[in-house]
Chain A
Amino acid sequence: MIIDLIADKFPGHDTAGKVGKINKKAGDPIKTVDTIFTIESGKGSIKYQSRCDGVLTELYISEGDTIKKGQVIGKAEGDAPKQASGQEPQKASYSFGIARPAQKPYEVDVAVVGGGPGGYVSAIRAAQNGKKVLLVEENRLGGTCLNHGCIPTKAILSSVDALEKIRNAESFGLEVKGIEASLKKIMQRKSGVVDTLVSGIEHLMDFNGIEVINGRAVVKDKKTLAVQNKSVDALIKFDKLIIAAGSKSISLPIEGADSDDILTSQELLSLTEVPASLTIIGGGVIGMEFAFIYSALGSKVNVVEFFPQILNNMDADVADTVRESAGQRGIKLYEGAKAQSMRTASDGTKIVEISKNNETGYIVSEKVAVAVGRRANLDSLDLDMLGVELNEKCNGIMVDEHMVTSNPDVYAIGDITNKIQLAHVASHQGIVASDNICGKDRRMFYEQVPGAIFTKPEIGHTGINEKDAKRQGIGYLVGKFPLMANGKAQAMGETDGFVKLLASMETRKIIGGTIVGVHATDMLSTISNVIASGMTMDDASHIIYAHPTTAESIHEALLVLDGRGIHFA
């Protein structure tokens, strides 16, 4: 095949340079990595190396010429350009002509489809267990969590936290003037955080000897996947398969919901200008996190929640605290309200029609976002061909406690199983799947899955809450301690929230806990450990907590359980 030789790499980020020494002339045979010539600019020198084995048929440049990025400098005839390992991927400007990528067969112990927190963790664990592992990812490693979810929202939230601290500077005795937030720079910082973590996972894949192929996996038969991208046409024979293909945002089945200007959580993460006003449909975890972020950045935010309560799975007192905080910030909540339609006014403004208690109302805002949950990517693979069946509700792949599907050689983990759609559940399912593949008997339990919600104040919860206990008919004791009575929280000026612990009336064991307030998500692990160790409230109350810390309020809540709280009356 004939290959156009294009000057695509220049020293530094220069886009032009001077042709230095030319080492090959037209007609010369060339091999991959042979230096054809050197490019020199003010930023240094760089070799232009051959990327194929063949013959340099034409060279249009001579020494001393100035060349520009993207310029065709010659032609070569040879076999398909190889991607040398360790080199950055060749740019799309490199013409491949009509040639197809080379076919490459793989035979692996474990193939993983999806490189999110489920997939990449299962791949690492399988590799640690001595298996030959190959992972297929369509987009970027890290999946939704890292690229469009947990991590980028937390990066933005950190900027927002700093902004709010500065705004409240006066209450700390500081005078700060001229605060300006740039959403563009906040988003740049966010992207930097994400890029660092993605490259970290790439490094981990490398370190664990896991082959990563970028592309979309297609099922060929029960034991074979195919993946095609620009540089490889891979045919992958696997012994075991782990499906970790994730989920995507659900859109609402109402008028105007499929319009292009309706935002999803992914788009909320890449706005470069703060909308004057924003209506979020969905007052769950994702919707509420964005409500607080955009409100702090200056948007007038409305939230429409179908259930009678925002964060509907949380206890009422938890939602009350968040509701009050939202109210203070001017976030308008419409709870128990159903979005009926989304229309666009002639000036581009969005109009959301809602109905609440059989009354119709309208909310007007610049932008509308929908965050009403995520649907498993069940159409990403031919599950029939794999012999993999869906669960009863047909909203996820059916798996047992070992994460095995109806095909004993195929495992499924993460959002696609629709058990609990959380990154840490996916990761844990991944470890369970890979350990089972390697002959260990590991089971997945969902009773002790903690949750972290980054509203203001933030929420951490694990185990059983009051709603669950009532529904399940469990007799319980409650110990609740307000952060208002905690010295550290007072010193920090962060007194919203409380620690609430539940103990079984029968066994006196701690069975659940919710923390609302500063450090809540970080403090939560203490409660997880107490529950997992099966401690009674009496034993747990003998653990010493350091002073002065917000965690002392966990101790106090333990004491309150027994009716003997020290710092709260």
Chain B
Amino acid sequence: MAGGFTLLKRYKIYISESFDPSFNLSVEEWLMDVCEADETVLFLWQNENTIVIGRNQNPYKECDLNKLKEDGVLLVRRLSGGGAVYHDLGNLNFTFIEPEDHYNVDNNMKIILDALSGFGIKGSFNGRNDLVAGDRKFSGNAFFSSNGMNCHHGTLLVDVDMEKLSRYLTVSPLKLKSKGIDSVKSRVINLKALSSEISVSGLKDSLIESFCDFYETEAEIESIGEKTLDLVACKAKYNSYEWNCSESPDFTVVLEEKFGWGLVEASLEISDGLIRSCRICTDAIFTEGFREMERRLIGEKFDRDSILEKIDFEYNGLRGAF
């Protein structure tokens, strides 16, 4: 007879001790692999000074890579879709991992909104994957699925440096046409501005409570860090140029610079992070060397250092263009 048993679901909560985005994104990937059909997982984590771009975005377009490099801001591509976000330690990230059959974004949103209501914050889920207070967004959400597992993750802006957020998420000055996904600008607000009581650690506790209340369970809570979990191989991916840059959809970029000796305009087509075609136009009197430069650039990485190395022959004067 059917009915002689019930399927107990298991609930687990993981909290990351690391602020390294490559580690935390590796943990998500690992959880997607190990999460069982009867489990629901909540993972809480933070990244230090990081721009996280969507799976099908172009870092060259979404941010000013030079500025990031100068200020030591990390850049990493995530597996979920959507737009670019800025993380610092004023931001708390959550991840829900669940198998297809009991995956329910509305439940997850309710857990988060319930947690916030404890601080007197009344948020809501807008139609566009954001949690908002009024018309201002405090949480961006994104999703991916693989082999019947689903990941729903998002940011919670508690006390983020808004000045940096807008500085780093400024669209690049490059003239760039990408086939990927563009970020949509939103008016954002820190939760701290809505409730003076809230803090990242307080919100963490409240999320755990709200998760347990919602599922009427005492979930196992586990701290994980780089010492307890070996994800070196996966981390290497998130730290690689190949993943973060080359995995962009194809794009074209026009680099333009005026020098004392004339105007130079280079049109490049980039695919898999490599320059596939290159066309340099100039009104300079001397044009020899530019054809050579085009030839040299084809097949090279679209990256400042690689390009500089290639054009750094006798035409030093062009350096400033890149």
Q: Which residues from chain A sit less than 8 Å from chain B, CB to CB?
A: 11-12, 18, 20-22, 38, 40-47, 62-64, 84, 86-88, 117, 142, 145-146, 150-151, 196-197, 199-201, 203-204, 423-424, 427
- The reply to whether A196 and B145 form a contact with Cβ atoms under 8 Å apart is no
Instruction: Given A38-B55, A45-B144, A423-B2, output 7 extra A-B contacts at Cβ < 8 Å.
Output: A12-B143, A21-B247, A21-B249, A40-B56, A47-B146, A62-B179, A197-B2
- The reply to whether B37 and A22 form a contact with Cβ atoms under 8 Å apart is no
Known contacts A88-B148, A145-B1; A200/B143 CB under 8 A: no
Query: What are 10 A-B contacts defined by CB distance under 8 Å?
Result: A20-B81, A43-B143, A44-B80, A44-B143, A44-B145, A197-B3, A200-B2, A200-B7, A203-B7, A424-B1
| Chain A residue contacts of B100, Cβ below 8 A | 88
- The reply to whether A42 and B80 form a contact with Cβ atoms under 8 Å apart is no
- The reply to whether A199 and B2 form a contact with Cβ atoms under 8 Å apart is no
Instruction: For A204, give the chain B residue with the smallest CB separation.
Output: B5
| Chain B residue contacts of A86, Cβ below 8 A | 147-148
- The reply to whether A63 and B179 form a contact with Cβ atoms under 8 Å apart is yes
Known contacts A150-B1, A199-B7; A42/B128 CB under 8 A: yes
| Chain B residue contacts of A151, Cβ below 8 A | 2-3
Known contacts A20-B180, A44-B80; A427/B148 CB under 8 A: no
Among B7, B37, B56, B152, which residue has its beta carbon within 8 angstroms of that of A196? B7
| Chain A residue contacts of B180, Cβ below 8 A | 20-21, 63-64
Closest-CB distance, A339 to chain B (whole angstroms): 31
Q: Does B280 contact A (CB under 8 A)?
A: no
Among A42, A87, A200, which residue has its beta carbon within 8 angstroms of that of B6? A200
| Chain B residue contacts of A423, Cβ below 8 A | 1-2
Among A38, A62, A117, A200, which residue has its beta carbon within 8 angstroms of that of B5? A200
Known contacts A38-B55, A203-B37; A45/B2 CB under 8 A: no
Q: Does B308 contact A (CB under 8 A)?
A: no
Main secondary structure of the interface of A (DSSP, over half): mixed
Instruction: For B100, give the chain A residue with the smallest CB separation.
Output: A88
Closest-CB distance, B100 to chain A (whole angstroms): 7
Q: For the complex, give the distance between the alpha carbons of A36 and B180 in Å.
A: 16
Q: Does B181 contact A (CB under 8 A)?
A: yes
Instruction: List B residues 196-250 near A (Cβ within 8 Å).
Output: 247-250
| Chain A residue contacts of B248, Cβ below 8 A | 21
Q: Does B142 contact A (CB under 8 A)?
A: yes
Interface size band for B: 35 or more
Proximity bits, B1-26, A CB within 8 Å = 1, else 0: 11101110000000000000000000
Q: Does B314 contact A (CB under 8 A)?
A: no
Among A44, A84, A196, A427, which residue has its beta carbon within 8 angstroms of that of B144? A44
- The reply to whether A142 and B81 form a contact with Cβ atoms under 8 Å apart is no
| Chain A residue contacts of B105, Cβ below 8 A | 12
| Chain B residue contacts of A204, Cβ below 8 A | 5
- The reply to whether A201 and B145 form a contact with Cβ atoms under 8 Å apart is no
- The reply to whether B181 and A18 form a contact with Cβ atoms under 8 Å apart is yes
| Chain B residue contacts of A199, Cβ below 8 A | 7, 101
Known contacts A45-B80, A62-B179; A21/B55 CB under 8 A: yes
| Chain B residue contacts of A117, Cβ below 8 A | 1-2
Q: Does B79 contact A (CB under 8 A)?
A: yes
Q: For the complex, give the distance between the alpha carbons of A204 and B55 in Å.
A: 37
Known contacts A20-B81, A44-B144; A142/B55 CB under 8 A: no
Closest-CB distance, A207 to chain B (whole angstroms): 10
Q: Does B129 contact A (CB under 8 A)?
A: yes
Q: For the complex, give the distance between the alpha carbons of A423 and B147 in Å.
A: 36
Residue from B54, B128, B144 whose CB has the most chain A CB atoms within 10 Å: B144
Q: Does B312 contact A (CB under 8 A)?
A: no
Q: Does B38 contact A (CB under 8 A)?
A: yes
- The reply to whether A142 and B2 form a contact with Cβ atoms under 8 Å apart is yes
Instruction: For B77, give the chain A residue with the smallest CB separation.
Output: A21
- The reply to whether A20 and B5 form a contact with Cβ atoms under 8 Å apart is no
Instruction: List B residues 282-301 near A (Cβ within 8 Å).
Output: none
- The reply to whether B1 and A11 form a contact with Cβ atoms under 8 Å apart is no
Among B2, B247, B249, which residue has its beta carbon within 8 angstroms of that of A64? B249
Known contacts A63-B249, A87-B148; A21/B7 CB under 8 A: no
| Chain A residue contacts of B82, Cβ below 8 A | 40, 44
Q: For the complex, give the distance between the alpha carbons of A88 and B247 in Å.
A: 28
Q: For the complex, give the distance between the alpha carbons of A44 and B56 in Å.
A: 11
- The reply to whether A11 and B144 form a contact with Cβ atoms under 8 Å apart is yes
- The reply to whether B55 and A40 form a contact with Cβ atoms under 8 Å apart is yes
Instruction: For B152, give the chain A residue with the smallest CB separation.
Output: A44
- The reply to whether B144 and A46 form a contact with Cβ atoms under 8 Å apart is yes
Q: For the complex, give the distance between the alpha carbons of A305 and B142 in Å.
A: 61
- The reply to whether A11 and B179 form a contact with Cβ atoms under 8 Å apart is no
Among B101, B145, B250, which residue has its beta carbon within 8 angstroms of that of A63? B250
Known contacts A45-B144, A64-B180, A203-B37; A22/B80 CB under 8 A: no
Instruction: For A120, give the chain B residue with the smallest CB separation.
Output: B2
- The reply to whether B56 and A201 form a contact with Cβ atoms under 8 Å apart is no
Closest-CB distance, A425 to chain B (whole angstroms): 10
Q: For the complex, give the distance between the alpha carbons of A199 and B99 in Å.
A: 13
